[in-house]
């Protein structure tokens, strides 16, 4: 089955879940495990540090006109800025508007492995950013339930919606990372590997759903694994936690929305609470 077909099937499954009120409580747990370099993370995969160049980073953001990268080889981090507004018109249905955020995001240029993984399952704010400059929030909603199942009906066709700070965000893979009309299948890497679609704040890259393992059964508790070309990295999945379950990395970057007055008008309704709450 192609990756596109997998994503279509996953979307239909989620629609059924919304309609049936599927309980995802069993999915809300994950293993931690040691993540020192070369030691297996929960699930049996070795976390290995990844060293990348600024050219690598800049190439990964090259398809987006919404992102400006500031990177110097030899530095420990790179920074990028983004408006936080998608390149397409969102028809998300929360009462919250989509407004400019002026994100400034700092991410480790060299990703190193932590001694202990840090869960992000109960994160209510940014845990990653797509290469289109859009934040990815943790997989839970404000009540601790599955955000995709409980808030999915308010999302647009690119699986995004706005929170009560008017911050547009995703909780899962978006099919529109490279543009509303650009299929992720067309962006595969030279060896056929799914494309790099985001960076977690710990510095490790997140790649699109692997059609051969869409539910992530071969991944560790952080939704990651290692290969000889990319080192340790995460994958999006069609099942909870959808993006990552924990940070395997030792260093965590930062993100801040610097827009002082973006005219946000909100009813304070679904879409998630302000980051960090």
10-residue stretch averages of pLDDT, the chain, 277 residues long: 44 38 32 40 72 95 92 96 96 95 96 91 94 97 93 96 95 95 93 96 96 86 91 94 94 88 66 41
CA quadruple 202, 208, 212, 217: dihedral sign: positive
The residue count for the chain: 277
Give the other-Cβ count within 10 Å of 160's Cβ: 25
CA distances from 252 to 74, 81, 202, 222, 255 (A): 18, 17, 4, 15, 10
What integer pLDDT is reported at residue 190 of this predicted model?
94
Q: Judge contact between 214 and 238, C-beta under 8 A.
A: yes
Peptide bond into 241 cis (omega under 30): yes
Residue at 267 is within a domain: no
**Token pair belonging to 38:** 């070369």
What integer pLDDT is reported at residue 42 of this predicted model?
59
What integer pLDDT is reported at residue 239 of this predicted model?
93
Expressed as residue numbers, the domain containing 117 is 3-19+34-257
What integer pLDDT is reported at residue 23 of this predicted model?
36
Whole-number Å distance between alpha carbons of 168 and 182 = 20
Structural domain tally of the chain?
Answer: 1
Residue at 173 is within a domain: yes
Residue the block writes with tokens 């492995």: 113
pTM: 0.83
What integer pLDDT is reported at residue 47 of this predicted model?
85
Q: Judge contact between 13 and 98, C-beta under 8 A.
A: no
Q: Judge contact between 158 and 150, C-beta under 8 A.
A: no
Residue at 270 is within a domain: no
Whole-number Å distance between alpha carbons of 149 and 240 = 10
CA distances from 108 to 40, 64, 80, 187, 222 (A): 21, 20, 12, 24, 18
Residue at 141 is within a domain: yes
Residue at 50 is within a domain: yes
Residue at 29 is within a domain: no
What integer pLDDT is reported at residue 41 of this predicted model?
64
Residue at 26 is within a domain: no
In the chain, DSSP finds a helix count (H) and a strand count (E) of 3, 18
Task: Return phi, psi of residue 148, to 5°.
Answer: -70, -40
Whole-number Å distance between alpha carbons of 106 and 18 = 35
Whole-number Å distance between alpha carbons of 198 and 244 = 11
Residue at 28 is within a domain: no
What integer pLDDT is reported at residue 29 of this predicted model?
29
Whole-number Å distance between alpha carbons of 117 and 248 = 5
What integer pLDDT is reported at residue 211 of this predicted model?
86
**Token pair belonging to 272:** 């998630």
């Amino acid at each position: 089955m192609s990756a596109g077909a997998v994503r279509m099937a996953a979307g239909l499954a989620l629609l059924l879940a919304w309609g049936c009120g599927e309980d995802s409580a069993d999915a809300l747990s994950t293993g931690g495990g040691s993540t020192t370099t070369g030691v297996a993370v929960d699930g049996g995969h070795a976390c290995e540090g990844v060293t990348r160049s600024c050219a690598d980073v800049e190439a990964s953001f090259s398809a987006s006109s919404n992102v400006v990268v500031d990177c110097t080889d030899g530095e420990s981090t790179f920074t990028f800025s983004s408006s936080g507004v998608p390149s397409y018109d969102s028809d998300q249905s929360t009462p919250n508007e989509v407004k400019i955020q002026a994100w400034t995001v700092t991410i480790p240029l060299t990703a190193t492995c932590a001694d202990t993984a840090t869960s992000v399952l109960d994160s209510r704010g940014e845990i990653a950013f797509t290469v289109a400059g859009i934040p990815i929030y943790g997989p839970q909603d404000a009540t601790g339930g599955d955000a995709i199942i409980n808030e999915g009906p308010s999302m647009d066709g690119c699986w995004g919606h706005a929170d009560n700070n008017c911050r547009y965000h995703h909780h899962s893979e978006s099919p529109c990372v490279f543009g509303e009309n650009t299929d992720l299948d067309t962006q595969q890497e030279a060896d056929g590997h799914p494309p790099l679609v985001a960076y977690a704040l710990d510095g490790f890259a997140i790649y699109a759903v692997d059609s051969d393992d869409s539910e992530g059964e071969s991944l560790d508790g952080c939704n990651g694994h290692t290969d000889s070309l990319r080192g340790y990295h995460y994958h999006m999945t069609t099942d909870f936690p959808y993006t990552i379950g924990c940070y395997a990395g030792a260093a965590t970057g930062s993100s801040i929305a610097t827009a002082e007055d973006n005219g946000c008008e909100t009813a304070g309704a679904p879409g998630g609470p302000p980051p960090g709450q």
